[in-house]
């Protein structure tokens, strides 16, 4: 039996359909290859859990970064310097990294992501750094030989039940990736430098 619900305005119609599977959303939840979960599923979870806000995502990210690091410090007992800096290798200044937070001894650092709620839910459920941010979890180790632990921190206070999710990345667990990406970067810089020299008059 089909139930029909009528609406007098589009706002109510949009709100009613938000956390439901509609024809438009079906393509975002059906996995055609493999058995992974698509972002549309996490969006439906977020629709039911997240508190709405209309803030610009970039502005929101900048605003919440300090708050996220304060929560991280309280949880880990570590203090992070949050000055606006860029670090680079002494032996190759073009290999650089701008940390969101770092400890005085450089052994610990923080990378903060204040993403849309669906991605925040995804990181909690999968307990994994999304592929698009993988390189950001490796570059700190390439630049900073002292770094032992990177706290990849996801923060979304709209998910009231679990606003903070931390994935610890240890140097020893990503050694192969560090070497691979470091060699790749050095090779790419060589290519860039060669062409700059050739094309500079």
What are the pLDDT digits (tens) for 170-182?
A: 999 999 999 999 9
In this prediction, residues 37-54 reach a mean pLDDT of 68
Q: Where are the chain's structural domains?
A: 9-49, 55-191
CATH architecture of structural domain 55-191: Alpha-Beta Complex (3.90)
pLDDT digits (tens, 9 = 90+) for 78-120: 999 999 999 999 999 889 999 999 999 999 999 999 988 888 9
Average pLDDT score over the chain: 86
Instruction: Classify strands 87-88 and 96-97 as parallel, antiparallel or unpaired.
Output: antiparallel
Is the pLDDT reported for residue 29 higher than 70?
no
Residue 149 in contact with residue 169, Cβ under 8 Å?
yes
In this prediction, residues 42-66 reach a mean pLDDT of 72
């Amino acid at each position: 039996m089909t139930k029909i619900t009528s609406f007098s305005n589009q706002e109510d119609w949009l709100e009613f359909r938000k956390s439901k599977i509609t024809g438009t959303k079906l393509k975002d939840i059906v996995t055609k290859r493999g058995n992974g979960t698509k972002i549309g599923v996490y969006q439906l979870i977020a629709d039911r859990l997240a508190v709405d806000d209309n803030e610009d995502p970039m502005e929101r990210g900048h605003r919440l970064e300090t708050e996220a690091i304060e929560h991280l410090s309280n949880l880990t007992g570590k203090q992070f310097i949050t000055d606006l800096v860029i670090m680079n290798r002494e032996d190759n200044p073009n290999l650089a990294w701008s940390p969101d937070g770092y400890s005085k001894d450089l052994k610990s650092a923080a990378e903060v992501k204040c993403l849309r709620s669906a991605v925040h839910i995804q990181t909690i459920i999968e307990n994994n750094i999304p592929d698009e941010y993988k390189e950001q979890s490796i570059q700190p180790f390439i630049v900073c030989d002292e770094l032992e632990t990177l706290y990849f921190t996801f923060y979304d206070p709209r998910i009231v039940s679990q606003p903070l999710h931390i994935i610890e990345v240890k140097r020893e667990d990503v050694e192969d990736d560090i070497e691979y990406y470091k060699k790749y970067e050095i090779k790419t810089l060589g290519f860039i430098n060669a062409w700059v020299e050739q094309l500079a008059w």
